[in-house]
C-alpha cells in the first residue's frame, strides 16, 4: 500500500513538473525587434549579412554610437559634406606613410571592398571595427569601457537591439554597420531625371548629362548610370602621376590588397553622388575643385604603364578636347548629383543635439 502511494506521488510530481515546464515554455516571449526594409526600386539588391539583419533598434543604437565621443566618427565624417571631410589624413599601410582623402560615407550598402585601395573586404562590420581602432587610437576594450561610462542608457539600447544588455565589440560593430547601411543617396535631381522627370535638370545640366554619358565626356564607363549609383566600384589608374616604372608610385593603392604589381597606383572609382559637397578630390585630395577634376580628364592625364585604357580611348588625340562651355556643362551636371534630402536627413543627424 505504501509502495503504491509512493509511486502515485512520484507520478504526480513528474506530471506536475511536465505541466510546469510546458507552461514556462509557452510563456517565454522571444526578444522582439522592428525589421527595417533596406531596398530600393531600380537599384541593385543589397546583401545584408544573415547574422546582422536590419532593425530600427539596431540603427538607432548605431546612430548614437556614430556620434558618441568614445567613437566620434563625426570628427572626420560630416553630414553637410556627405559624411566626408575637408581634411586629408595620414595613414600607414604596410610600412608606407600615405596621405588619404577622407572618403564619403554614402551608399556603402552597395560596396563590398572599402577604402581607396580596397584593403578592407571582409564586410562593413569588420571595416567599422578597424576604423574605430584607427580613429580612436585606443584598444577596443578601452572604447567599450568609455561607452559603459557614458551618460546614455546604452544597456537598454543594446538590449532593445540585440536582446542583451552587454555592451561589447560585436554588437557595437553590428549597430554601426546597420546605421551606415542606411546612409543612402537616391534622390538627386540627376537620378530623378534618369527616372523620367525631364524637368529635374535645366537645359545646361542636360547638356552636361549628354556629355557625361557619351564618349565626348567619357565619364560613364566608370561612373555608371545603369545602377543609378554612379560608380562601378572598380579600382583603376586614372593617370594622376607620371611614372615609367610601377615601383615609382608613392602610394601603391590596390596593390596593398592584391599583391599584383599591375595594381600599383590604382584607386577606387568613387560614387559621384554628392560630389559637389566632398572636396577635395582624388585619393590624396590633390584637387580642390570640380573644375580641376574635369580639366585633369580633359588633358588625358599623365603616363603610367598601367593607366586605364578608358582614360585615353582615342589614340589619335590627347585628352578629350572639351571646350570651356562643355567643361562648365559637365561641372553643372555634377552639381545635379547632389541629394539634398540626404544632406539634411534628420535620421542621419547627431541625436545628442536633439
Q: Residue 286: give the domain boundaries.
A: 189-341
Q: Which residue, among 58, 63, 42, has the nearest Cα to 110 in the 3D structure?
A: 42
Same domain, residue pair 172 and 198 = no
Domain count, the chain: 2
**Secondary element (H or E) of residue 236:** strand 235-236
- Residue 27 included in any domain: no
Distance CA 287, CA 283 (A): 10
What are the two backbone dihedrals, phi and then psi, of residue 220, each rounded to the nearest 5 degrees?
Answer: -75, -15
Query: Could you tell me if 210 and 146 lie in one domain?
Result: no
Write down the residue that cell numbers 595613414 correspond to: 91
* End-to-end CA separation in angstroms for the chain: 76
Residues 267, 168, single domain; the answer is no
**Nearest Cα to Cα of residue 110 among 219, 268, 259:** 268
* All three cell numbers of 277: 559637397
- 43 part of a folded domain: no
- Distance (Å, whole) CA 215 – CA 121: 32
Angle, helices 324-335/290-299, rounded to nearest 10 degrees: 130
| Domain closes at, from 120, 155, 184 | 184
Residue 167 sits in the same domain as residue 195: no
Distance separating alpha carbons of residues 325 and 344, to the nearest angstrom: 31
Task: Measure the CA–CA gap between 231 and 221, rounded to whole angstroms.
Answer: 9
| Predicted pLDDT of residue 27 | 47
CB 285 within 8 A of CB 251: no
Q: Is residue 175 part of a domain?
A: yes
Report if residue 131 sits inside a domain: yes
Distance CA 119, CA 127 (A): 10
How far is residue 350's CA from residue 63's CA, in Å, rounded to a whole number?
Answer: 7
As averages over each run of 10 residues, the pLDDT of the chain (354 residues) reads: 43 45 50 94 94 98 97 94 92 84 95 88 91 87 95 95 96 98 97 96 98 94 91 95 96 94 96 97 97 96 93 78 97 98 97 92
Torsion of CA 108, 83, 227, 251, to 10 degrees: -70
Please check whether residues 61 and 174 belong to one and the same domain. Answer: yes
Q: Are residues 142 and 229 in the same domain?
A: no
In a domain, 148, yes or no: yes
Alpha-carbon distance of 53 to 33, in angstroms, equals: 10
Question: Is residue 177 domain-shared with residue 78, that is, in the same domain?
Answer: yes
- The residue whose grid cell reads 559634406 is 81
Contact 114, 121 (CB under 8 A): yes
Assess if residue 5 is contained within a domain. Answer: no
Which of 184, 216, 243 is where one domain is finished? 184
pLDDT, residue 24, reads 43
Quote the pLDDT of residue 29.
Answer: 59
Read off the C-alpha cell for 5. Answer: 502511494
CA dihedral 104, 106, 108, 110 (to 10 degrees): -130
User: Is the domain of 172 the same as that of 199?
Assistant: no
Q: What is the pLDDT of residue 1?
A: 42
Kindly state whether residues 203 and 140 are assigned to the same domain.
no
| Cα–Cα dist 99/90, whole Å | 4
What CATH number does the domain containing 117 carry?
A: 1.10.760.10
Q: Are residues 97 and 220 both part of a single domain?
A: no
3-class secondary structure per residue, 306-335: CCCCCCCCCCCCCCCCCCHHHHHHHHHHHH
Q: Are residues 227 and 88 in the same domain?
A: no
56-67 vs 169-181: helix axis angle to the nearest 10?
A: 100
Of residues 124, 117, 99, 127, the one with CA closest to residue 280: 99
Three cell numbers at 274?
554628392
Contact status, residue 33 vs residue 159, Cβ threshold 8 Å? no
Please report whether residue 46 resides in a domain.
no
pLDDT at 260: 96
**Dihedral pair phi/psi, residue 308, rounded to 5°:** -60, 135
Which of 184, 208, 233 marks a domain boundary? 184
Claim to verify: residue 174 and residue 247 sit in the same structural domain: no
Q: Is residue 248 part of a domain?
A: yes
Amino acid at each position: 500500500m505504501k509502495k503504491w502511494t509512493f509511486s502515485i506521488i512520484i507520478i504526480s510530481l513528474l506530471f506536475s513538473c511536465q505541466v510546469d515546464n510546458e507552461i514556462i515554455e509557452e510563456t517565454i516571449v522571444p526578444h522582439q525587434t522592428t525589421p527595417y526594409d533596406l531596398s530600393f526600386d531600380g537599384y541593385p539588391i543589397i546583401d545584408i549579412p544573415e547574422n546582422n539583419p536590419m532593425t530600427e533598434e539596431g540603427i538607432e543604437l548605431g546612430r548614437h554610437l556614430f556620434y558618441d565621443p568614445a567613437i566620434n566618427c563625426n570628427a572626420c565624417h560630416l553630414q553637410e559634406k556627405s559624411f566626408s571631410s575637408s581634411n586629408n589624413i595620414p595613414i600607414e599601410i604596410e610600412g608606407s606613410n600615405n596621405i588619404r582623402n577622407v572618403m564619403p560615407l554614402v551608399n556603402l550598402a552597395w560596396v563590398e571592398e572599402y577604402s581607396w585601395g580596397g584593403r578592407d573586404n571582409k564586410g562593413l562590420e569588420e571595416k567599422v571595427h578597424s576604423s574605430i581602432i584607427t580613429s580612436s587610437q585606443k584598444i577596443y576594450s578601452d572604447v567599450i569601457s568609455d561607452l559603459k561610462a557614458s551618460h546614455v542608457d546604452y544597456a537598454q539600447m543594446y538590449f532593445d537591439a540585440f536582446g542583451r544588455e552587454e555592451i561589447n565589440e560585436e554588437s557595437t560593430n553590428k549597430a554601426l554597420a546597420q546605421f551606415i547601411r542606411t546612409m543612402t543617396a537616391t534622390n538627386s535631381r540627376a537620378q530623378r531625371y534618369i527616372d523620367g522627370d525631364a524637368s529635374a535638370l535645366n537645359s545646361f545640366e542636360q547638356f552636361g548629362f549628354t556629355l557625361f554619358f557619351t564618349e565626348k565626356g567619357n565619364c560613364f564607363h566608370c561612373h555608371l548610370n545603369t545602377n543609378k549609383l554612379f560608380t562601378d566600384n572598380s579600382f583603376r589608374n586614372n593617370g594622376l602621376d607620371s611614372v615609367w616604372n610601377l615601383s615609382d608610385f608613392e602610394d601603391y593603392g590596390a596593390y596593398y590588397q592584391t599583391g599584383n604589381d599591375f595594381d600599383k597606383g590604382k584607386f577606387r572609382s568613387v560614387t559621384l553622388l554628392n560630389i559637389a559637397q566632398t572636396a577635395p578630390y582624388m585619393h590624396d585630395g590633390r584637387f580642390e575643385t570640380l573644375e580641376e577634376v574635369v580639366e585633369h580628364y580633359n588633358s588625358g592625364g599623365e603616363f603610367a604603364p598601367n593607366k586605364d585604357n578608358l582614360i585615353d580611348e582615342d589614340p589619335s588625340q590627347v585628352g578629350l578636347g572639351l571646350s570651356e562651355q562643355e567643361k562648365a556643362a559637365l561641372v553643372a551636371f555634377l552639381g545635379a548629383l547632389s541629394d539634398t534630402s540626404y544632406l539634411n536627413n534628420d535620421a542621419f543627424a547627431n541625436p545628442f543635439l536633439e
